[in-house]
Amino acid sequence: MKNRISIAKDKVKTIRIKSILTVLFVIVTALSSAQKSTNENRIAPEKLKQDLQLLRASLEEGYPGMYTYNSKTVIDSLFDSSEKQLQKEMTEREFYLFLSKIVMQLQDGHMDIYPTKNTREKLANSKCSIPIQTFVSGQKMYVQKNYSTLSDKELLGAEIISINGYPVSSFITEVLSICSSDGNNETNKFKRFESTGLLTRYLFYFQGYTENYKIEYLPFNDTKTKTSTLKGITFENLLKIRLNRYPGVKQSPAEFKLLDPSTAYLKIKSFNEDDYENNKMDFPAFLRSSFETIKDKEVKNLILDLRDNGGGTDEYGKILFSYFINHEFMYYESLIINKPEFNFIKYTDYGEMKIPEDAIRINKEGTYSVIDHPNVGMQKNSTPTYSGKLFILIDGNCFSTTSECLSMLESYTSAVFIGEESGGGYYGNCSGSVPMLILPNSLLQVGIPLMKYSMAVKDYKYKDRGVIPDYNIAPTIKDKILSNDPELEFAKKLISPQ
């Protein structure tokens, strides 16, 4: 994710509209049979409609990517038909799922529905966090880290068949149907299952609150299923257990090393400025030193590892790219915001917001171009420039700022990409300032990105995907639990075939 920026043909349309209506019908049908709790507050239909109307008005006013992947006709039909569906009371959980289905159709990985403050606090402080970290491949879920009282021998690598009687294959399908991503990307969605916090949240919304998880599972390298009940733990306790059992999870945000006299490895785990400050690292200085070493050692092969880098500071992605081009360049084609100030802001956590007049300029479309940003306009390349062979490791967690950098690297270099499709949109994203809209009746929250980032790239095959790797290499659960790195090993073999 990005850091907040303080500035601050008719038949086809008909088919698309019908598909959205089908999606809404499915979610309403599912909600009608969903697990209910007698102590959950229910919200009247008129209150639900008011929240939906506010959400729609706020998006229409402030969200610059409203019609990036679907036409206005399709989106209008989506909201009109959704409002007509609201004829009965709903609980917070039911309305969350309902709104998530709508927001998902906007196809924006930076936009999400968040629980109410009370629910977030309950999930964080109660003993309800499922004590495992999972890994999903296809429609199967596995245990890659164990925070429970069961032994690692029993649980690590196990395939989970069901959770509290809920078939995992169905659960995966349901979760994917409410997750937003840039365009039609799916790799970023699957990565969400690796977050124990998100997994606990999804289980809560589809099954209700619980502090016990009865799992049916198939132990690693076994053929007979077993059943055990995992006791939930607080999220704070989960973090303590993770650091104790898996101390390697706390890593430096960047690493550089020589693998051999002609090959270097550069790992950028984060572009977040705060991560570097917390580790007492200067990112620009780190890069400069790394590339000077590459030049001094006459390195001919560079493996750039951007896996699991969810983004961060916009400028950091540009700085990294600037070492791979030998002339001035445009990084952003445009950076757009709808208006200098917004009526809906009073319903958000911002309270108020007005962009300085000298930071923006009205454009011919009637929106505003952001001009006060380090990545806007002609950019200078950095030296020493690297011109050797470049191998880039990517996965579904490459998102936001990282995705921007990858688009430029794909467009302007001859890099070889290895791994999984990157998690962000190739041509850009909506992010930057993301006020949290608080819906007054349900108290659910929706993050609304205010800035549309368009990259200075063109002629890519896919309009709605990330960077597609030249070599699709994905880890298995065996790789995960044994700490194997098939992507890195594949890159090494390309460099030095045996």
Question: Which pLDDT score, from 0 to 100, does residue 1 have?
Answer: 67
The token duo for 234 is 């607080």
pLDDT, block means (10 residues), the chain with 498 residues: 47 36 46 52 98 99 98 98 98 98 97 96 97 96 98 96 98 96 97 97 97 98 96 97 85 95 98 97 99 98 98 98 99 98 97 93 97 97 98 99 99 98 98 98 98 97 96 97 97 90
Strand 451-455 and strand 428-431: the pairing is antiparallel
Domains (ranges, CATH) in the chain? 10-111 (no CATH), 122-248 (2.30.42.10), 250-495 (3.90.226.10)
Question: Which pLDDT score, from 0 to 100, does residue 2 have?
Answer: 66
Question: Which pLDDT score, from 0 to 100, does residue 247 have?
Answer: 87
Q: Which of 333, 334, 363 is closest to 451 using CA atoms? A: 334
Question: Which pLDDT score, from 0 to 100, does residue 315 have?
Answer: 98
- Following DSSP, what letter does each residue of 367-401 receive, concatenated? SEEE-SSTTSSEE---SSPP-SEEEEEE-TT--TH
Q: Which of 445, 292, 337 is closest to 7 using CA atoms? A: 337
Question: Which pLDDT score, from 0 to 100, does residue 294 have?
Answer: 99
* Cβ-proximal residues to 421 (8 Å cutoff; 6+ apart), any chain: 185, 186, 187, 394, 396, 465, 466, 467, 468, 469
Map residue 9 onto helix, strand or coil.
Answer: coil
CA dist., res. 125 & res. 410, Å (int): 43
CA dist., res. 228 & res. 238, Å (int): 19
For the chain, helix, strand, coil in percent to 5 are 40, 20, 40
Strands annotated E in 147-225: 159-163, 166-167, 212-218
